[in-house]
Amino acid sequence: MSAAGLLEEHKEYFETIQVEQKPIPDVLEVEVTTSDGSTKTVTVEVVKPIGTKPYIGGFRNRQTNRDYLNSATNTDQFKREYKEKFHREVQSFQFRTRSTLMKKEFGTQMDKIGVVLIDPRKDHEIIPQTYFTSEEWLIEREKAALYIQCCTRRWFAIKRRKELKAIRDENDQKILKRQEELRKEEEKKHKAEIERRMHPRTEDDFEILFKELEMWRLKETERIKTSNILSAEEKHKALEQLLHKETKLLQTIDRLKITAHHQNKDQKIEKFLKSMSNPKKWDISDGRKTEVHTPFTTRAKELMDLYNGLKMKHLSIDERLDVLLHTKWTVKEFDCNLTREIVDLIDREADMLNRGRSETSLEGLRKRLANLFLQFIEIPEFNPEAVRFQKVPKELLENAMELEIN
């Protein structure tokens, strides 16, 4: 008979077992039929379990979450009693865990018509899958390990590639930066070479100009003399023109030399005045430097400002007279031939300015006044800070000043 037929036949039975069970009394009266066929009433005491019965074997239905206990494992077992309770075996009993197989009669519960009927409504069939051997399991583990290794090595390779790319980019940037620096240096050097030929300042610059001029003269002379097209008279005329060009170039170089001399002199004087007026510097214990202006450096700075004012051009008449007045007050503190000459020049220029003379007519007077005031600055008696820049011993200078004053 199929499971559906069993379910229909024993429908009433299943409905009765679903009814809530009544509490069990403490005493039951059971009628027992004896061997001679008579009936006997026996009183049976019901022992109710205290607490939850421990799980010692069975199974659980996943659909109903109901536990079924195996009677063979949940029945109280015979307890071994030792007569000699103080024996060593009793006092030092060793517990051991052992596994065993259940008897097949107690392991499962099957349907049996007329005896046991199991509710199949919530049953479901379990279809066994393909058997998975240990060798196949090892193969899968090896595949998984290889996949992990591949991913890890790929990650290491990507990381290494990024590091090498960063190093390569950094090296490329350094090369480009170095090339740019070399290009700028070459460009700067080229501009400096052009500048030193257009505006020579040092002896080396003029030496280069003279050498290049001589090379150009020799090359042109050789070209004229070896020419087969020109006649003797034409060659002579070409040599005269070459000599004229050379003379013009030499005159230009001489003018540049005079201009460079004046510029170098002005820069040297400016550097000299700034060196005297700079503050004193001392090293501090923490590594820094402190700057202090002394009375001598302050005096040198005032004299430098007056000198720059005398050298300044394109001033109005009032501004120029103000500079001359401050200069006159400064030099009149001392009485000597130099200071008297400076005062005389200042008065002369002031008189000419009041008469409306032009600046062109006063250039020689102003130049002489600036040179005399520079001599005034270079004397340690008037500017104590100038002692550091004197090549002549101070004693000789004092003697010379005394003779001059006398």
Segment 190-215, tens digit of pLDDT: 998 888 888 888 888 888 888 888 89
Higher-pLDDT residue of 340 and 57 is 340
| pLDDT beyond 60 at 246 | yes
Weakest-pLDDT range from 14-28, 33-47, 123-137, 212-226: 14-28
Report the chain's terminal Cα–Cα distance, integer Å: 158
Q: Give the per-residue pLDDT at 1.
A: 47
Structure tokens at 297: 């450096």
**Predicted pLDDT at 17:** 44
Q: How confident is the model at residue 142 (pLDDT cuts 50, 70, 90)?
A: very high
pLDDT at 404 over 60: no
Report the pLDDT value the prediction gives residue 5, as an integer from 0 to 100. Answer: 53
Whether residue 38 has pLDDT greater than 90? no
Q: Which of 50-54, 71-75, 100-104, 228-232 shows the highest mean pLDDT?
A: 228-232
- Check pLDDT > 80 for residue 362: yes
How much is the pTM?
A: 0.48
Q: How confident is the model at residue 91 (pLDDT cuts 50, 70, 90)?
A: low
Give 291-336 pLDDT, tens digit per residue.
Answer: 888 888 888 888 888 888 888 888 888 888 888 888 888 888 888 8
For range 365-393, the mean pLDDT = 81
On the question of pLDDT at 78 being above 50, the answer is yes
Domain ranges of the chain: 211-225+234-278, 294-405
> Once rounded to an integer, what is the mean pLDDT over residues 138-150?
95
